[in-house]
Amino acid sequence: EKQLTLRGKKVLITAGPTYEPLDPVRFIGNHSTGKMGFDIADAAANLGAEVILVSGPSHLNPKHSQVKVIRVFSASEMYDICHSCFQDVDTVIAAAAVADYRPKVVATQKIKKNDETFIIELEKNPDILASLGEIKKSQYLIGFALETENEIEHAKAKIVKKNLDLIVLNSLNDEGAGFGKPTNKVTFIDKDFNIFPQELKSKEEVAKDIVSKIVQHYEK
Ligand code: C5P
Mean pLDDT of the region 25-47: 97
pTM metric for this prediction: 0.95
Atom in ligand 1 nearest the alpha carbon of residue 167: 10
Residues with catalytic function? 30
158 is in an annotated binding site: yes
At 78-118, the pLDDT tens digits run 999 999 999 999 999 999 999 999 999 999 999 999 999 99
CA of 162 to the centre of ligand 1 (A): 9
Q: Which of 78, 98, 141 to mutate to test the pocket of ligand 1 (most atoms within 8 A of CB)?
A: 98
ipTM reported for the complex, 2 dp: 0.98
Which of 143, 201, 194 minimizes the C-alpha distance to 174?
Answer: 201
At 130-145, the pLDDT tens digits run 999 999 999 999 999 9
Which of 194, 210, 193 minimizes the C-alpha distance to 13?
Answer: 210
Q: Which residues line ligand 1 (CB under 6 A)?
A: 14, 75, 94, 96, 98, 125, 127-129, 143-145, 158
Fold of the 10-108+118-219 domain? Rossmann fold (3.40.50)
* Residue of 173 and 51 predicted with greater confidence: 51
CB burial string 138-161: b at 16+ within 10 A, e below: ebbbbbbbbbeeebbeebbebbee
CA of 3 to the centre of ligand 1 (A): 32
